[in-house]
Amino acid sequence: MISSQRALVLFSGGQDSTTCLAWALSRYAQVETIGFDYGQRHAIEMTMRPLLIEKMRSMSPDWDARLGEDHVIDLSLISAISHTAMTQEIDIEMQANGLPNTFVPGRNLLFMTVAATLAYRRGLSVLVGGMCETDFSGYPDCRDDTMKSLQVTLNLGMASAFTIETPLMWLDKHATWSLARSLGGDSLVDLIRTDTHTCYLGQRGALHDWGYGCGSCPACALRARGYQQFIGK
């Protein structure tokens, strides 16, 4: 059943957000997308986003009919005020606080707040994000409690009734690949494998069986392991 609600998907052009976009398109009458240019080291994702959107449209007439505007927001202030391996050319390593330096403080909080601000103007009541605390690096802004708390805060602060949906919250990468297949068949799996970008270092050299990437950063390691489990190797 397709809900009459209208959704806004936080769409980076990676595996998780592409799966979330397919999930939203299978559920909501109208879906828009929002992406953030925050000075990320893997800026290739900003190049892949529009190509992915057009390919998603071509996969299904229903998806094409439901998929509305794409919005790109400049959040370069994030790179200006942070010092992380996602925004600077520095080695990926663990920090004294137990979090990897790929954690960008406040990033997802800002993303959701800006998305809600846009959704308020556009009349979109559902915010969809790919946050997950099953296969993740311990980022506190990816946790279910954080998203539930943020939903309350946004609704109080904007006198609204937003719902934050995180369809991947309790899925590992194996299950995320499986969800993609259930939503769009092998065509969506192939699209995610060849056209999405997840690698923290922004590398798109050789095409691995699981997709493009350096093969060694935490994002590539998770994606590769999940894919191998997905295909039964």
pLDDT in tens, 31-82: 999 999 988 888 888 899 999 999 999 999 999 999 999 999 999 999 888 8
CATH of segment(s) 3-193:
3.40.50.620
Whether pLDDT at 5 is above 80: yes
Rounded Cα distance, 193 and 33, in Å = 20
Q: Which helix (H) or strand (E) element contains residue 33? A: strand 28-37
Give the model's pLDDT for residue 100: 79
Give this prediction's pTM. Answer: 0.93
Band of residue 83 on the pLDDT scale cut at 50, 70, 90: confident
Band of residue 99 on the pLDDT scale cut at 50, 70, 90: confident
Give the model's pLDDT for residue 30: 98
Residue with tokens 């370069």: 76
Give, to the nearest 10 degrees, the angle between helix 173-195 and helix 44-59. 100
Give the model's pLDDT for residue 156: 98
Give the model's pLDDT for residue 132: 94
Residue 123 region by backbone torsions, left for phi larger than 0, else alpha for psi between -120 and 50, else beta: left
Residues paired with 33 in a beta bridge: 9, 70
Q: Give 1's contacts (C-beta < 8 A, 6+ positions apart).
A: none
Band of residue 188 on the pLDDT scale cut at 50, 70, 90: very high
Residues paired with 9 in a beta bridge: 33, 128
Quickly list H helices, 6-138.
15-25, 44-59, 61-66, 77-81, 107-122
Residue with tokens 């590539």: 220
Give the model's pLDDT for residue 206: 87
pLDDT in tens, 135-171: 767 889 999 999 999 999 999 999 999 999 999 999 9
Rounded Cα distance, 195 and 104, in Å = 25
Band of residue 233 on the pLDDT scale cut at 50, 70, 90: low
Phi and psi angles of residue 27, each rounded to the nearest 5 degrees, phi first:
-125, -30
Q: Give 149's contacts (C-beta < 8 A, 6+ positions apart).
A: none
